[in-house]
Amino acid sequence: PLWALRKGPSMVLKAFFPTCCASADSGLLVGRWVPEQSSAVVLAVVHFPFIPIQVKELLAQVQQASRVGVAVLGTWCHCQQKPEESLGRFLEGLGAVFPHDPWLQLCRERGSKFWSCKATHRQVPAAPGAASEDQVMLIFYDQRKVLLSQLHPPAALPDHQAGDASASTGGLAAIFDTVARSESLFRSDRFDEGPVRLSHWQSEGVEASILVELAKRASGPVCLLLACLLSLVSAASACRVFKLWPLSFLGSKLSTCEQLRHRLEQLTLIFSTQKATDPTELMRKANMLVSVLLDVALGLVLLSWLHRKNRLGQLADALVPVADHVAEQLQHLLQWLMGAPAGLKMNRALDQVLGRFFLYHIHLWISYIHLMSPFIERILWHVGLSACLGLTVALSILWDIIALLTFHIYCFYVYGARLYCLKVYGLSSLWRLFRGKKWNVLRQRVDSCSYDLDQLFIGTLLFTILVFLLPTTALYYLVFTLLRLLVVAVQGLIHLLVDMVNSLPLYSLGLRLCRPYRLAGKWCAGRPARVGPSALGLPGVGSLNAGRGRRH
């Protein structure tokens, strides 16, 4: 009731004005009028002199290219002192040439902080005595940031809300959308030779750098060349030889082959000649490229570190003694197990058998290592060279080397586990016999069964034997499982590092730190719109202070 007494249409007219045009010369305001929110989004300023026909042509072109309803919204006056009457009438007269309702008139004195904003309606309002002018709210926005920020469309809302949704989730999203889609308007500039001279964010200096432009030109042929090379390599690796049994088995077990394959796939994707279709794909490609580059850089650092002060030679010299030392420690461990470990009483005979068996293995292993020792340095040198391909490849090779060097531990673990497994099966089956039951394979359940006396006798005998041999086998199993776990933990750490380098989205992280408005902002209907840092120039709403001066 209180507000119905106010004069004029009740909704305030919002004008979104780009900050870059605040210092532009006088001219026409060009942009889009959004009637649902009674807001005018100013995209650019057309300077005098101009021919109205050409302006209309340009706007029609832009409208066709971008499907944004661009029109002349009003006039912009930026002059030395208070505008004279004739200029004022000229500007109003322009309203007749470019019919638009409401007609916006913004005026600013050079060097002053005061703005004057006026919006007039052409149509005669129905109620007599009501003024035909609106209150204008001027909102500054940073055109560059709004243009470059990308918003996800809101998630599909349930059907019955579809009608309301488009109106309510419009709002600021519509403003962003308008600016982002009218890229074709920003192609021509006031410094161009064309018939119409525009001022917008590109007038402050077209954003480009020589390197980026050169890179863009060069990327086409380079991509083509690399794509050809990579296809050759993938064809070679897909040939029949590698599918045969020994090589395919090795290929699946070695982590280096895995990593190389992964990298090959990634490189093929990056250098494919198709352009990325949507921003997520572009982001993925960029992340992959950055991770490959980082990988290679770290690999080269590692290589330079290895070759300095002949560290590679030192490593090679240290490798055989280390392997010897490990084998010696294992021998000590087995001697300890063969004695009375931790005060436990072991079965003497079984203990000796197992211990001697494993000791022989270690002896074999040491002889193999000693056989290989002259070639170690050469092999390591070649391996170090592979660090050129990337840190991940070097780490994968390290993983493989550890796997090969601790192969005997793996073997011991397998033997211990098998033995223990057999024992446990035997025990469980004989335990069932002890109780007079049997495992029914057909029915997959335990059934009662009547055994003969001799079966029972032998079964019980075997059962007792196995029970008393249990601690020995269990202990061996435990010790070797723990050793194996240790090795697996180290390998797991290396794998973790490799995965981290492979999959960390460094490009997105860097973009988030340096240009947050570039990243797709999450626009979920229902969450408070965390629209990028002053993307709307809303701290610039504080510059409403300046516009406060004169309002008609």
Partner 1 sequence: MEEERKFSDICGGRLALQRRYYSPSCREFCLSCPRLSLRSLTAVTCTVWLAAYGLFTLCENSMILSAAIFITLLGLLGYLHFVKIDQETLLIIDSLGIQMTSSYASGKETTTFIEMNKVKDVVINEAIYMQKVIYYLCILLKDPVEPHEISQVVPVFQSSKPRLDCLIEVYRSCQEILAHEKATSRSP
- Asked if residue 536 binds partner 1 (CB under 8 A), the reply is yes
Q: How far is the CB of 150 from partner 1 (least distance, A)?
A: 18
Q: How far is the CB of 44 from partner 1 (least distance, A)?
A: 23
Distance CA 549, CA 552 (A): 10
Tokens standing for residue 9: 């249409």
Q: How far apart are the first and last CA of the chain?
A: 24
Please say whether the beta carbons of 427 and 467 come within 8 A. Answer: yes
Nearer to partner 1, 52 or 542 (CB): 542
Nearer to partner 1, 14 or 285 (CB): 14
String marking each residue 307-346 x if it binds partner 1 according to CB under 8 A: ----------------------------------------
CA dihedral 224, 226, 228, 231 (to 10 degrees): -130
Distance CA 297, CA 460 (A): 67
Distance CA 191, CA 430 (A): 96
Residue located via tokens 């300046």: 546
Binding test (CB under 8 A) with partner 1, winner from 227, 529, 543, 546: 529
Q: How far is the CB of 12 from partner 1 (least distance, A)?
A: 6
- Asked if residue 246 binds partner 1 (CB under 8 A), the reply is no
Distances (CA, A) of 249 to 66, 104, 233: 56, 76, 20
The DSSP bridge pattern shows strands 13-18 and 136-141 to be parallel
Residue 115 β-bridge partners: 108
Among 278-286, 421-429, 436-444, 519-527, which window interacts with partner 1 (CB under 8 A)?
A: 519-527
Q: Is the peptide bond before 102 cis (omega within 30 degrees of 0)?
A: yes
- Asked if residue 217 binds partner 1 (CB under 8 A), the reply is no
Among 164-172, 180-188, 317-325, 491-499, which window interacts with partner 1 (CB under 8 A)?
A: 164-172
The DSSP bridge pattern shows strands 70-79 and 27-34 to be antiparallel
- Asked if residue 534 binds partner 1 (CB under 8 A), the reply is yes
Nearer to partner 1, 164 or 192 (CB): 164
Distances (CA, A) of 502 to 121, 287, 391: 61, 10, 10
Q: How far is the CB of 149 from partner 1 (least distance, A)?
A: 14
Please say whether the beta carbons of 118 and 75 come within 8 A. Answer: no
- Asked if residue 435 binds partner 1 (CB under 8 A), the reply is no
Among 158-166, 220-228, 333-341, 402-410, which window interacts with partner 1 (CB under 8 A)?
A: 158-166
Nearer to partner 1, 160 or 445 (CB): 160
Nearest to residue 536, comparing CAs of 183, 172, 258, 284? Answer: 172
Across 310-464, the runs of DSSP E, i.e. the strands, are 437-440, 445-448
Tokens standing for residue 268: 């093929």
Question: 3-state SS of the chain: helix, strand, coil percent to 5?
Answer: 65, 10, 25
Binding test (CB under 8 A) with partner 1, winner from 89, 548, 550, 552: 548
Binding test (CB under 8 A) with partner 1, winner from 130, 539, 550, 552: 539
Binding test (CB under 8 A) with partner 1, winner from 35, 111, 158, 221: 158
Among 238-246, 327-335, 440-448, 520-528, which window interacts with partner 1 (CB under 8 A)?
A: 520-528
- Asked if residue 3 binds partner 1 (CB under 8 A), the reply is yes
- Asked if residue 112 binds partner 1 (CB under 8 A), the reply is no
Distance CA 249, CA 215 (A): 42
Distance CA 372, CA 366 (A): 10
- Asked if residue 135 binds partner 1 (CB under 8 A), the reply is yes
Size of the site for partner 1 (CB under 8 A): 37
- Asked if residue 7 binds partner 1 (CB under 8 A), the reply is no
**Hey, which residues between 277 and 296 contact partner 1 (CB under 8 A)?**
none
Residue located via tokens 């840190």: 391
- Asked if residue 220 binds partner 1 (CB under 8 A), the reply is no
Residue located via tokens 């004989």: 430
Question: Residue 11: CB partners within 8 Å, gap ≥ 6?
Answer: 38, 134
Nearer to partner 1, 39 or 75 (CB): 39
- Asked if residue 139 binds partner 1 (CB under 8 A), the reply is yes
Binding test (CB under 8 A) with partner 1, winner from 8, 25, 37, 511: 37
- Asked if residue 63 binds partner 1 (CB under 8 A), the reply is no
- Asked if residue 165 binds partner 1 (CB under 8 A), the reply is yes
Q: How far is the CB of 127 from partner 1 (least distance, A)?
A: 12
Please say whether the beta carbons of 492 and 414 come within 8 A. Answer: no
Please say whether the beta carbons of 8 and 133 come within 8 A. Answer: yes
Binding test (CB under 8 A) with partner 1, winner from 243, 356, 530, 552: 530
Binding positions for partner 1, rule: CB under 8 A: 2-4, 10-12, 14, 37-38, 135, 137, 139, 157-158, 161, 165, 168-169, 171-172, 525-531, 533-534, 536, 538-539, 541-542, 544-545, 548
